[in-house]
Amino acid sequence: MDINVKEILPKGLSKVQDTELALHDKKTIAEIKDLEWNSATKDLLVTCNAKIININNKYGWYYVACLICKTKVKQVRGVLWCERCKNEPKFAVPSYRIQVQAQDETSSTTFILFDKGAEKIIAKTAKELAEKQEEILKLDENILPKEIQKIIGNEYLFQLHLDEYNLKYGKENYMVSKILEMEILEIEEHQDTMEEIVSKSRKDKYIASQKKEIGETSVERPEIMPLQMLQKRQKDTKQIASKKKKTEL
């Protein structure tokens, strides 16, 4: 329990703020599919706003992982074996691996959710769901818990890690690094309208300044009064005053 766990990023990738990712590295599914492998795109982090429309549960929704490295453990001669750690793991726990079909306005493809992304949108951990499922019936990883079914039909902002597997060989099983906060998505959706809102606010203030309140009514002032019209109004005012004075006499 006193082991310090450190996040390990893919080589060549720097840790970037969520807002920066959402606003500068966002791509549609069609654009992601069109990306090609080269020295510059050997490893990429991109974001994609998409809706989960289905879950492919053919291979189950979790795997038994080594607690240290999260690699899938195997049964070797009756004992668990971690190929990455090259030893028998002291602890192995169920971890999410959910294969979802995601869709946006351009296309659809497959995203793979692991613990880091899945636990953000599912109320329970894979361990908790597996234990709960085991209590109800014999453990069958091909039966999809209702907590996971609830994510179908929801829209999320995904951060994807694209590597040689995707870019060079064209495989569409894109790994989800994490799911970003929805507040970022809202900022992006409304950023194009902010200038319109500010512009409208300024226009409203200008119009209000052009109105003179008279009792319960208001009269709009002309923005510019032509010189001839102003001279005519002054002349008419003088004539009315002169006639009124003669009448009084």
Mean pLDDT across the stretch 42-52?
90
Which pLDDT belongs to residue 176? 95
What's the CA gap between 111 and 155, in Å, rounded? 13
Percent of the chain with pLDDT over 70: 58
Which pLDDT belongs to residue 219? 42
Length of the chain: 249
Q: List the helix and strand counts (H, then E) for the chain.
A: 8, 10
Backbone angles phi, psi at 81, to 5 degrees: -135, 130
Average pLDDT, the chain: 76
Higher pLDDT, 20 or 94: 94
Which pLDDT belongs to residue 216? 46
Rounded to two decimals, the pTM is 0.64
What's the CA gap between 242 and 244, in Å, rounded? 5
Residue 190 three-state SS: helix
Residues 6+ apart with CB under 8 A from 179: 117, 120, 121, 156, 157, 158, 159
Mean pLDDT across the stretch 18-33?
79
What CA–CA distances, in Å, run from 66 to 82, 92, 126, 139, 195?
7, 5, 14, 19, 51
Mean pLDDT across the stretch 114-123?
92
Whether the CB-CB separation of 174 and 32 falls below 8 Å is answered with: yes
pLDDT of residue 168 exceeding 90, the answer is no
Higher pLDDT, 99 or 218: 99
pLDDT band of residue 113 (cuts 50, 70, 90) is: very high
Which pLDDT belongs to residue 13? 47
Whether the CB-CB separation of 89 and 125 falls below 8 Å is answered with: no
Q: What is the pLDDT of residues 134-156, one digit of tens each?
A: 765 555 556 899 999 999 999 99
Whether the CB-CB separation of 210 and 223 falls below 8 Å is answered with: yes
